[in-house]
Structure 1
Amino acid sequence: MRAVPAPKVWVTGLTVGAIAAVAALAVQADKGPHPTAAAARPSASASPGASPAPTKSAVPAAVPDDSGSGRRIVYSLSQKRVWLVDASDTARRTFTVWPGTVSPDPGAYTVSSRNMATTGSDGVQIENILYFAAKSGISIAFSNAVDGSSPPPAEGKETGGIRTRAADGAALWTFGETGTAVTVVR
């Protein structure tokens, strides 16, 4: 009579074989090409006549040389771009923005106050509002639209809101406490 191996031996043998096969396939897969996923960007609902959405470049723009030093928010008027710079002068985040019709003069400011949410001068619900300047009686602040929309061009209105995407607005809110330095450059 022939001895039949115990079921444990069969299960153990099959398990060891399966692990070896998976390991061999993993080694082979690691040697092959690695696909990269394109970053999906949620589309913001733009109003008719709105300017095109700001874009994020593949290579982050360098923090402007004339923007000071230390922990600060840097806003470039010509690039329509913001940098969140840490104490070691390293940009932790950069993104493009939609400026209002009234721009701050180049110079040094601080976040003077914050407001979690309100209605913008254009009638849009906004959030993550960081006020840092005023010009001609117009308050200038960073904010993002609650609905994610970009502001339409202001026709005959003076607006000081510098709009961001929602994720960038949340990052600004976290970074820009009252008293945080803001540097505006050309």
Structure 2
Amino acid sequence: MAKIGPGVVVTGLTLGALAVVSLLAIQANGAETRTAAAGPRPGATGSPSASPSPSASPSAALAALPAASGTGRRVVYSVSARQVWLVDPKKTPQVQAAFAVEPGSVSPETGSFTVYSRAAATTGTDGRQVEHVVRFAEQSGTVFGFSAAVDGATPSPDPKVRTGGIRESRENGQTLWDFAPTGTRVIVIA
């Protein structure tokens, strides 16, 4: 049986450590990107050209995935936190993405739903062109779903117009679209 010298062992351990450090750096960079994307968004004031500015408020930070948010692969939407988590327990990290959203003028009831319809592009209830529409519930005549405005705007909804569209940035809209095909569970929490 051939003997392995100490130089080979040290080299192997060094390469393994570099691989782990590289993986952690990539994950940290992804988390930084998701956190930055969740901050103030262009168009948050109704103007798609408004530039984002850093927020000093701790409430602007993304919350951790709530413990009572279901199990399995799912989209979790917190009405009160105005936040979405994309969760896949078979992957590391389990939370694949987390980002802030702008809810419609009407909120869905809490509970478990299933993505039943998707549209690559359409016109939203507010008249804006939207893309990556992922619908998961219909209650009292209002359709609830996630979408991104093509112009990038995420203005607060007009309270006089009954809309269940939950808006996210275009980047986050693409991420949710890729994560949530028809049949994906959506858990709505308070």
Q: State TM-score, norm by structure 1.
A: 0.70
Q: Is the 8 A contact 1:73 1:182 kept in 2?
A: yes
Give the structure with the larger helix fraction. 2
Q: Is the 8 A contact 1:124 1:145 kept in 2?
A: yes
Give the counterpart of 1:91 among 82, 90, 95. Answer: 95
Unaligned runs of 5+ in 2: 1-31
Q: Is the 8 A contact 2:102 2:156 kept in 1?
A: no
Deviation at 1:140, TM superposition (A): 0.4
Please give the per-residue CA displacement for 1:102-158, whole angstroms capped at 9, x wherever unaligned: 111110001001000001011100000000011210100000000100134314110
For the residues of structure 2 that align with 1:113 and 1:65, how far apart are their CA atoms? 28
Unaligned runs of 5+ in 1: 1-37
- Give me the CA root mean square deviation: 3.1
Q: Is the 8 A contact 2:86 2:176 kept in 1?
A: yes
In the alignment, which residue of structure 2 is the partner of 1:47?
46
Number of residue pairs matched by the alignment: 147
In the alignment, which residue of structure 2 is the partner of 1:149?
153
Q: Is the 8 A contact 1:102 1:135 kept in 2?
A: no
Q: How does 1:1-186 map to 2 (within 5 A)?
A: 44-45=42-43, 46-47=45-46, 60-88=62-90, 90-186=94-190
4+ residue runs over 3 A deviation: 38-43, 55-60
For the residues of structure 2 that align with 1:68 and 1:153, how far apart are their CA atoms? 28
Change (3 A) 1:146 1:88: same
Letter of the aligned partner of 1:136 in structure 2? S
Deviation at 1:63, TM superposition (A): 1.0
For the residues of structure 2 that align with 1:152 and 1:181, how far apart are their CA atoms? 26
For the residues of structure 1 that align with 2:140 and 2:41, how far apart are their CA atoms? 34
For the residues of structure 1 that align with 2:79 and 2:108, how far apart are their CA atoms? 9
Change (3 A) 1:88 1:59: farther
